[in-house]
Amino acid sequence: MTWLVLIPLLPALAFAAMAPMSRRVRTAVRWLPLAAMSGSLLMSFAAFARVWPGGGEEPVWRATFSLATLGGAPLSVGLRLDAVTAIMLLVVTIVGVCVQVYSLGYMHRDERQGWYFAVLSLFSAAMLLLVLSGDFLLLYMSWEVMGLCSYLLIGFWHEQDAPRRASIKAFLTTRVGDVGFAIGLAAMWAYAHSFDFAVVLRDTHWTVAAATLVSLGLLAGAMGKSAQVPLHVWLPDARAGPTPASALIHAATMVAAGVYLVARALPIFHAAAPWVLIFVMGVGTATALLGATLAMVQYDIKKVLAYSTISQLGYMFIALGAGAEGAALFHLTTHAFFKSLLFLGAGVIIHATHTQDIREMGGLRKTMPWTTGTFLFGALALSGVFPFSGFWSKDDILMTLWTQHTWWSLTALSVALLVAAMTAFYMTRVCIRVFAGRACSLARETHLDMIVPMAVLAGITAVIGFTSPAFAAFLGEVKGWPDLGMAVVGSIAATTGIGLGVWIYAFAGVDTQELRVRFPRVTAVLENGFYFDLTYNRGLVETFQWLTRLLAAFDTTVVDGAVNAVARGWSAASRVSWAFDGTVVDGAVNGVGALVKRAGDRVRTLQSGRVQGYQRLGYAGLLALLGLALLVPYIGALAAAACAFVALIVVGVIVVRGA
């Protein structure tokens, strides 16, 4: 089953092929990542079939690749395929293909779309590798690659200020968690002398102290990636990137990687001190509540969805805190489909109305029936309405909390029910604002190529909930159909939220503007997102800037002239670089043989004067050298092949010229 390697490799190759291309060629081959992703999708189905019917503890397939011996210890990375992996592969590839198809329509006017598709492909490769990896080291590597891709995609429109800032914020905030992750990994290596899942999770006998340290480290990484309080601040800003990228990365897959990580490492969490799991649940509860609260007051449709994602990730962490790996993964799965659906719908809406503000939208149900329909599917699923998928997975989590029956799980349960009602409320608010009422713009329905992916996701959202018992069985857990009592309680919560939303926004039961005016302090707190950004700015950024200023003052007074001049000059240099570009290549040639002259000119055209071009050429040169170095053993055969190739081209040219 070595072909499994191809699942992450295909999108990675697509990226490697596109990276050195010029902008024009990249745009021409923008379908390449989709082709690679489709291949991965087919193979993921095959992998799923191999694992079916699941239920076993042992992985179906595993492979270890020895990298090197570092400092005397063997360093190897491994892949493994088990039930969890099979499910995650399907989630990532299905959502990935839908987003890729959608993006072809969504991005088709963008000049740099080739780069977008290339990075999207690299991201898919990293995410697929993450779920396939059989040890924490490979997981960490792909984790970091995903972080890089997220940074690149958030800052895709880097000539604007907001995306650039958001990308740096996202990168730095997740980095805070990643430091914890790295410490956890180091502790893991120190104690277990291995990163392998089988060794670390099953064969190692953990002491409480070691397990606590490792699990807290991993948790820190997961909190950064999955935007848990207090590291959630980057996700609302991440909406600055292209919407389909948000759908894939910041709703469906990457942000769920933290949940996946904790789910994988749950045996270590069980071995740790008991308060660690309670802490996980506390983090999840706080995040779910905070996300839902803030989602209720946003006017930016993508920001509502971003806060909703934070809130739902909190839900998953609640499940993890209860030790219910299956429930968390089930919610991860259903959430991946309905939230990416919602984001794709939001993309279409923004495209059609040219605004992200829900106050300026309205009446889209008449002009955009398909978008309205699919978006409503997603909204109903998110609100937890039977029979849509969100109902089932949410019910799963609530039931787990009820069965555990400790004071903290019951607290979490009551908060979770409140959050469920709030979720239903804010989705009702968005839907009424956007789809109901008078049409206030000339929005038109989008093209088929963007509707189809949304329809596919909507279909999955509608039916996937019914697989709930099968899903559990596949993971090796025993679970029946939902308990009627909990289903009724959950539905009541959802209905309350919807009813309240309809009353306020459809029948204008309460004047929300008046509420804002009457409770200015509450409004201020909510509008500032509980002051997280402000606190970080005051506490960290400004301290750092103060330090920078101090050092700068030191610099200017102590170090004189040259340094400053060069710094000033370099910034000036970048300004004139453009103007200078065309003027480099000039000059007449005399007294030299024509052949040498032409060869010289050839070389000189590469010497364009653009530093980006030089770096690309250097990169190509490095690849050529690497290729050469690695192929040295086969150099004879290659030389023969090259000669044959050149001969073929020469013959071809002669034939064409002759014709």
Partner 1 sequence: MASWTLIVPEGLLLAGALVALFAEVLFPGGRRAGAWSGAAFAALAAAVSIAAGSGAALFGGQFAVDPATQVARTATLLLTSAFLVWLGGAGLERERVREFAALVLFASLGALLMAAARDWIVLLLALEAATMPAYVLMGFDRGDDRSLEGALKYFLLSMVASLLFLYGMSFVIGMSGSTLLAASRLQPGAVGVVAAAFVFAGLLAKLSAAPFQWWSPDAYAGAPAAAVAFVSSVPKIAGLFAFARVVAVLAPQTAATGPLLAAAAVASMLIGNLAAYPQTDVRRLMAYSGVAHAGYLLVGLATGTVAGTQAAVFYAIAYAVPSMGVMLVAAQYGATLDALRGLASRRPWVAWATALMLVSLVGVPPLAGFTGKLYLFTAAMRSGWVWLAVIAVVMSAVSAGFYLRIMRAMFFGTDESGEAPIAGSPASAAVVVACALAVIVVGVASSPLLAAITFAK
Which chain residues interact with partner 1 by CB under 8 A? 67-72, 561-563, 565-566, 568-570, 572-574, 576-577, 580, 584, 587-589, 591-592, 596-597, 599-601, 603-604, 606-607, 609, 611, 613-615, 617-618, 620-622, 624-626, 628-630, 632-633, 635
Longest Cα–Cα distance in the chain: 96
Is the distance from CB of 420 to CB of 302 less than 8 angstroms? no
Q: Do strands 73-81 and 61-70 pair parallel, antiparallel, or not at all (unpaired)?
A: antiparallel
Beta strands in 221-329 (DSSP E): none
Nearest to 346 by CA among 423, 424, 227, 242: 242
Is the distance from CB of 183 to CB of 215 less than 8 angstroms? no
- Lookup: tokens for 39: 């291949």
Class of residue 459 by CB neighbours under 10 A (exposed 0-12, middle 13-18, buried 19+)? middle
**C-alpha dist (Å) from residue 27 to 99, 208, 436:** 17, 54, 38
| Nearer of residues 576 and 655 to partner 1, judged by Cβ | 576
Compute the least distance from the CB of residue 148 to partner 1, in Å: 15
| Nearer of residues 508 and 592 to partner 1, judged by Cβ | 592
| Nearer of residues 70 and 478 to partner 1, judged by Cβ | 70
Is the distance from CB of 423 to CB of 380 less than 8 angstroms? no
Q: What number of other Cβ atoms are within 10 A of residue 84's Cβ?
A: 22
Bond into 163 cis (ω within 30): no
Nearest to 256 by CA among 132, 380, 457, 92: 92
| Nearer of residues 508 and 562 to partner 1, judged by Cβ | 562
Compute the least distance from the CB of residue 121 to partner 1, in Å: 23
Is the distance from CB of 102 to CB of 239 less than 8 angstroms? no
Nearest to 163 by CA among 257, 245, 252, 253: 245
| Nearer of residues 16 and 506 to partner 1, judged by Cβ | 16
Compute the least distance from the CB of residue 594 to partner 1, in Å: 11
Compute the least distance from the CB of residue 372 to partner 1, in Å: 50
Compute the least distance from the CB of residue 641 to partner 1, in Å: 16
> Is residue 46 within a helix (H) or strand (E), and if so which, with residue range?
helix 32-51
Is the distance from CB of 401 to CB of 412 less than 8 angstroms? yes
Compute the least distance from the CB of residue 552 to partner 1, in Å: 19
Compute the least distance from the CB of residue 132 to partner 1, in Å: 21
Compute the least distance from the CB of residue 381 to partner 1, in Å: 46
Class of residue 464 by CB neighbours under 10 A (exposed 0-12, middle 13-18, buried 19+)? buried
Is the distance from CB of 174 to CB of 224 less than 8 angstroms? yes
Is the distance from CB of 376 to CB of 467 less than 8 angstroms? no
| Nearer of residues 160 and 577 to partner 1, judged by Cβ | 577
| Nearer of residues 68 and 508 to partner 1, judged by Cβ | 68
Compute the least distance from the CB of residue 626 to partner 1, in Å: 5
- Can you give the length of the chain in residues? 659
Q: 78: helix, coil or strand?
A: strand
- Lookup: tokens for 69: 């011996």
Compute the least distance from the CB of residue 581 to partner 1, in Å: 10
| Nearer of residues 405 and 602 to partner 1, judged by Cβ | 602
Q: 449: helix, coil or strand?
A: helix
Compute the least distance from the CB of residue 620 to partner 1, in Å: 7
Cα angle: 270, vertex 274, 279; to 5 degrees: 100
Q: Where are the alpha helices (DSSP H) in 436-519?
A: 448-463, 468-474, 484-501, 512-518
| Nearer of residues 503 and 645 to partner 1, judged by Cβ | 645
Is the distance from CB of 196 to CB of 135 less than 8 angstroms? yes
| Nearer of residues 53 and 71 to partner 1, judged by Cβ | 71
| Nearer of residues 632 and 656 to partner 1, judged by Cβ | 632
User: Whole-angstrom distance between the N-terminal and C-terminal Cα of the chain?
Assistant: 50
Compute the least distance from the CB of residue 642 to partner 1, in Å: 13
| Nearer of residues 48 and 151 to partner 1, judged by Cβ | 151
| Nearer of residues 5 and 29 to partner 1, judged by Cβ | 5
Q: 330: helix, coil or strand?
A: helix
Compute the least distance from the CB of residue 624 to partner 1, in Å: 7
Beta bridge pairs of residue 612: none
